[in-house]
A and B are shown apart, each in its own frame.
Chain A
Amino acid sequence: MSVNATQFLDADHLAASALSALPQIGPKRLSTLLRYHDPQTAWAVVQGRAKPHAVVAALMQESGLGAMWRANATESLREQILGRCKKVGIRVVLHGESSYPSCLKNDLAPPAVLFYLGDLKALDARRVGMIGTRSATASGRYFSSHLGFELTANGVCVVSGLARGIDAWAHRGALRACEKFLNLENKKPKSAFGEVATPVGVVASGLDYVYPKEHADLWRQVAQTGALLSESPPGAPPEAFRFPLRNRILAALSEVLVVVESRDKGGSMITVDEAQKRDVTVLAVPGSPRNVAAVGTNLLVQQGCLPVIGVDDVLVALGLDNRRANEKSFDSRPRLSEQDAHLVAVMVGAPFTLDEFVIRTSVPLLQAAIALGRLEALGWVVNNSGWWEVIEFG
C-alpha cells in the first residue's frame, strides 16, 4: 500500500489527510497535533500506538476526543482518503513545506493541511478576493464578471469562493479572460497588459464534493486553469461550520478584498471581518440605497471602505500601475440618445417592473414598452422574470 501511496501521496501527506478527516478535528486541533508530532507519528498517536506529547495528551483527554479518534482512526479511513484523492487527482501540501503557499504561511490561523487541485503557482500573482451575495441583482452579476475579467487581464489573480451569485460570476469573468488571451496568443496567457493571471477558488466542502451542483463545470475549469483549494478532506460535505473557516482562508489569501454586492448580514460580512483582522484592505462596490442587495456594501463604504467603481480602484489599492487599464474600454454599447440616457439615469439602481418604469418616468405605456425594448436590444437594460434592471457598466 505504501508503495502505491508514494506514487501519488507520500506517507506523511496521507497520514495528515487522514487526520484531517477525523471527527471533531478543527483546524486548531489539527495544527496542535501536527506541531508536536510529524504526521505519521501523529497518526500513530491517535491510533494509540505511540505516546503523545504532553500538550497533545491534554488535548486528547478533552471530552473523550482521544477515544473517539482512536475508534475512527482506522486503516480503512486512510484507504478511503487515498482512494478519493487518487480518483480526482487531489494533492496535499502541509504547513511548513516549501511548496506551501507563502501568503498563508504567516497567517493568524494557517490551515495545517491544504488540499488542492491545479497549480499553486496561481497564487504567486497579485491576489484580489472577490466576494458577495448569492442572490445578486443582474447589475451585480455583470459588475462582478467584468471586474473578474479585467483584473485577470491585468495580471491579478481573482480569489473567490465559487458560491452562487457574485462569487461564481467573478470566476466566470476571470475564466473568460484566460480563455480569450490564451487562445489569442497561442497558448501564452498574455493580454495587452502583460501576463494574464489564473483564478483561484477556495471551497468549503471536500474537493470531490461539488457544491452547489450546478457549478460542476466551473469547478473543473477553475481547477484546470488555476487552482482550487480546500481545507476539508475529500468527501467532506458542505456543512455549515465549514463556510466561515473557508472565508478565513479566502481573506488570508487576498491582498485586497472587494465586496461586490452584499446584504448587511451573511457570509460576505464574515469574510470582511476576517480580512480586517488581517489588515487586508477591504473595498466595496457601492449600490443604490434602494437596492436591498447592496445594503451591506453601502454600509461598508459608510464605515470608510474605499468604493470601487472600476478596475482602476482595485489596481490602485494593490499599488499597481493603472494607467494602461483605461486604454481599452469594455463598454462596447452604442451611446444613448439624450432621451434614453435620461430614462437610464432615472431608473438606475434597484430592479424595477414595467409599472414602476411608467410611474417614475411618466412615459405613456406604449412608448415605455418601445423604449425598454430598444434599451434592451442595445444592452442597457436586462429583464429577468419580469424585473428590469439598468446595466451601468457595459
Chain B
Amino acid sequence: MFASVRSATLLGVRGSRVDVEVHAGIGLPGFTVVGQPDEVCRESRDRVRAALMSSGFVWPTRRVTVNLAPTGDRKSGACLDLAIAIGLLASQEIVSVEALGEFAFVAELGLDGSLRPLRGATPLVLALTDRKTIVAPGNFAEARAATPSEVFCAQNLFDVVECLAGRGVWHNEDHDKKSTANSSLKCDARRREATSVSSNKQIDEVDLADVQGQPVARQALEIAAAGAHHLLLVGPPGAGKTMLAERLVGLLPPLTNDEAIATTMIHSSVHLESPNAGLIRRAPYRAPHHSSSMVSMVGGGTALMRPGEISLASNGVLFLDELGEFAPTVLDALRQPLEQGIVRLARARTSVVMPAKFLLVAATNPCPCGEGSPGVCTCDDTARARYLRRFSGPLLDRFDLRVAVSRPNTDELVSPQRGESTAEVAGRVAAARELAFFRSGCANSALSREQLDNVAPLSRTAEKLLRRELENGRLSGRGYHRVRRVARTVADLDGAPDVVNEEHLSLALMMRVDLASGLRTRELKF
C-alpha cells in the first residue's frame, strides 16, 4: 500500500517542502529511508517505531520504503518524524489516505508518542501555507502567528490519528497555559521561556536615561537609529561605549509585520525561543564576542546552513565590541552583507541566501594604550599605526558615523539629573524614519546618489563648506555622499525637512572622525 504525506525540512533560514512517500509491500520485513536523509533523519525509524507501539499501533511486518521527495535535496533533522508515522499508518489503512490531502505535518516524535517542538517552526509552516499544518504544542503559538493558513496541534500521535479520523477535535488555541501530559516537555518549555525572558529583559530594561552627559554620543545614537547609519564609537576604556551601544536597539521602532516574520524565521531556525506572542516584534540585538569564528558570524555549516550572527541581527543591531580584536578575515567578510543586506553562502552541495540587513555598531579603543587623547596617550606613532592597520580602510569607510567618546567626568557621573529617556528619543527617531520612508521609500543611509540631489539639497553655505573639505583632501568622493546622507538625517531630526544647512553638515563632518589624522605630519603655516 502507498501513502504520501506532506511535510517540510529546513535549509538555511527557509523551509522546503518534502513529500514523505511510504510504501509497504510484500517482501522480507524491513524499513528503509531513501532520498538523502541525514543521520538524525535516518534515526527517525527507531523513534517512529517506538512511538507507534506506545500509542497502541502495530509496526507493519512488511517491506517498508520511505522516500523523501524531492530526492535531490539533502534532508536534515527530526521534523519528518510525524509525517513518516502518519504515512506508515496510512499505508496500513489505519488512517485514510484521502484525509491526508489537506494536511501537512511538522513535529518530532517522542518514544511515548508525544509530539515535540522543533526549531524552525516559522520557516517550516511558511513553506506549507497551502495546507492545514499540524505542529507540536510547543510550536503552536509561533506557527500560528507566522502563517496565514490554519495551524493545529495535538498532544500525541494517538490524538492526531483520532482527529484525522474525525473522532476528536483539533486543538487550535494556545497550549502554553494548559498543562501538558508530557512532563519532560513541560520542563523543557519552562526552561526555554525562562532563558528567553531573561535575555530579553537585559536589553529591555536598559534606558538611555542612564547615560550621563555624553551629548555627542547620544546624538550619534539618535542619528544612527533614525537614518540606519552604521556607527563606530572610539574611546578610552570606561567611556561607556558598550553602555551606549546596548541602548541603541531600544531607539529602533518595533518591527513591521514582514520584518517580524523574517526575523522570527531566522531566530526560529536556530532554536532561539520566540517570545510568547509568537513573532519577534522587537529589533534583535546581537553582540558576539571578538573570538567569534567566520562561520559563526556569517553562517554556514556543512549540510544544514545555519544563519550566523549577522543574519540573527537582521532588522536589528549587530554590536562588535573591541572591533580591533576580531580576526581581520571575519571583519572583511562583513563587507558584502553590509553593502547588499544579504549574505550568499555556497557550499559544494548547497547554496543559500540569508537576510543580513543589520545596523552595525562597533566600539574600539583609539590606540593600544586606550587613552587616545594627545599628550595622555603613551603610544608611539608606529604602535598607533599598527593598531589602526587592523581595521581595513574599506571597512572603516562603511561607518557613516565615527564618534570619539570621552569618559564622563565626576560631576556628570554623580549628577542626579537624568538624561532624556529612550521613549522620548525613540519618538523623534520614529518620526524621522517615517519622514524618510515617506520621502524616498528607504532609510537615509540607503539613498542613492541620484536621490541625494533631490531629497537633500544643500544650502549655499553648506555647499561652500563641503567644497572646502573636498579641496582640503579631508573628504573622499565616497565620503562626500556618506556625509550628505548623514546630514540629511541630522536635518530631519532638527525639524528641517527641506534644505540641508551648514550646521547639519558641520555635525555630520564632526561625526566622521579620521582615526589616522593624528599620525599625519601636517605642514604648518609660517
- Give bound CA distance, A172 to B402, whole Å: 32
Inside 8 A of A384's CB, which chain B residues have their CB?
374, 517-518
Given A353-B406, A354-B404, A137:B374 Cβ within 8 A: yes
Which of A133, A142, A359, A367 contacts B524 (CB under 8 A)? Answer: A142
Asked if B234 and A386 sit within 8 Å, CB to CB, the answer is: yes
Which of A133, A351, A356, A386 contacts B513 (CB under 8 A)? Answer: A386
| B37 beta carbon closer than 8 Å to chain A | no
Inside 8 A of A370's CB, which chain B residues have their CB?
502-503, 506-507
Given A135-B379, A355-B214, A373-B465, A385:B366 Cβ within 8 A: yes
Separation in Å of the B291 CB from the closest CB of chain A? 27
| B213 beta carbon closer than 8 Å to chain A | yes
Asked if A365 and B219 sit within 8 Å, CB to CB, the answer is: yes
Separation in Å of the B219 CB from the closest CB of chain A? 6
Chain B contact patch, size range = 35 or more
| B215 beta carbon closer than 8 Å to chain A | yes
Which of A134, A176, A365, A387 contacts B380 (CB under 8 A)? Answer: A134
- Give bound CA distance, A291 to B140, whole Å: 64
Given A212-B382, A353-B404, A293:B506 Cβ within 8 A: no
Inside 8 A of A355's CB, which chain B residues have their CB?
213-217, 404-406
Interface string of B506-526 (1 = CB under 8 A from A): 110110011111110000111
Asked if A330 and B404 sit within 8 Å, CB to CB, the answer is: no
| B431 beta carbon closer than 8 Å to chain A | no
Asked if B468 and A385 sit within 8 Å, CB to CB, the answer is: no
Asked if B373 and A387 sit within 8 Å, CB to CB, the answer is: yes
Interface string of A108-124 (1 = CB under 8 A from B): 00000000000000000
How many chain A residues touch B (Cβ–Cβ < 8 Å)?
51
Asked if A292 and B219 sit within 8 Å, CB to CB, the answer is: no
Asked if B215 and A358 sit within 8 Å, CB to CB, the answer is: yes
| B173 beta carbon closer than 8 Å to chain A | no
Residues 301-336 (chain A) with a chain B CB within 8 angstroms: 330, 332
Separation in Å of the A154 CB from the closest CB of chain B? 14
- Closest A residue to B504 by beta carbon equals A366
Asked if A358 and B216 sit within 8 Å, CB to CB, the answer is: yes
Asked if A135 and B517 sit within 8 Å, CB to CB, the answer is: no
Separation in Å of the A334 CB from the closest CB of chain B? 12
Separation in Å of the B318 CB from the closest CB of chain A? 23
Inside 8 A of A377's CB, which chain B residues have their CB?
468
Asked if A385 and B380 sit within 8 Å, CB to CB, the answer is: no
Interface SS, A side: helix
- Give bound CA distance, A51 to B507, whole Å: 79
Asked if A369 and B509 sit within 8 Å, CB to CB, the answer is: yes
| A231 beta carbon closer than 8 Å to chain B | no
Instruction: Point out which of B366, B382, B524 has the most chain A C-beta atoms below 10 A from its C-beta.
Output: B524
Asked if A356 and B375 sit within 8 Å, CB to CB, the answer is: no
Residues 366-408 (chain B) with a chain A CB within 8 angstroms: 366, 372-382, 402-406
Instruction: Point out which of A180, A332, A370, A372 has the most chain B C-beta atoms below 10 A from its C-beta.
Output: A370
- Closest A residue to B513 by beta carbon equals A386
Residues 181-198 (chain B) with a chain A CB within 8 angstroms: none
- Give bound CA distance, A136 to B374, whole Å: 6
Separation in Å of the A286 CB from the closest CB of chain B? 14
| B494 beta carbon closer than 8 Å to chain A | yes
Which of A214, A352, A386, A394 contacts B381 (CB under 8 A)? Answer: A214
Separation in Å of the A326 CB from the closest CB of chain B? 17
Asked if A164 and B380 sit within 8 Å, CB to CB, the answer is: yes
Inside 8 A of B215's CB, which chain A residues have their CB?
355, 358-359, 365
| A27 beta carbon closer than 8 Å to chain B | no
| A389 beta carbon closer than 8 Å to chain B | yes
Which of A367, A383, A385 contacts B503 (CB under 8 A)? Answer: A367
Separation in Å of the A287 CB from the closest CB of chain B? 9
Instruction: Point out which of A136, A353, A384, A385 has the most chain B C-beta atoms below 10 A from its C-beta.
Output: A385
Separation in Å of the B389 CB from the closest CB of chain A? 14
Asked if A366 and B375 sit within 8 Å, CB to CB, the answer is: no
| A149 beta carbon closer than 8 Å to chain B | yes
Asked if B515 and A140 sit within 8 Å, CB to CB, the answer is: no
Asked if A369 and B374 sit within 8 Å, CB to CB, the answer is: no
Given A134-B380, A386-B404, A293:B375 Cβ within 8 A: yes
Inside 8 A of B332's CB, which chain A residues have their CB?
none
Which of A136, A145, A177, A330 contacts B375 (CB under 8 A)? Answer: A136
| A255 beta carbon closer than 8 Å to chain B | no
Inside 8 A of B517's CB, which chain A residues have their CB?
383-385
Interface string of A124-152 (1 = CB under 8 A from B): 00000000011111101010011001000
Residues 320-344 (chain B) with a chain A CB within 8 angstroms: none
Known contacts A355-B406, A385-B234; 14 further A-B pairs (Cβ under 8 A): A180-B526, A214-B382, A293-B376, A356-B406, A358-B215, A358-B216, A359-B412, A377-B468, A384-B517, A384-B518, A385-B366, A385-B404, A386-B366, A389-B374
A-B contact list, 17 entries, CB within 8 Å: A134-B380, A135-B378, A173-B524, A351-B375, A354-B510, A355-B213, A355-B404, A366-B490, A366-B503, A369-B507, A373-B509, A379-B525, A383-B513, A383-B517, A385-B517, A385-B518, A386-B404
A contacts, CB < 8 Å to B: 133-138, 140, 142, 145-146, 149, 164, 172-173, 176-177, 180, 212, 214, 261, 291-294, 330, 332, 350-356, 358-359, 365-367, 369-370, 372-373, 377, 379, 383-387, 389, 394
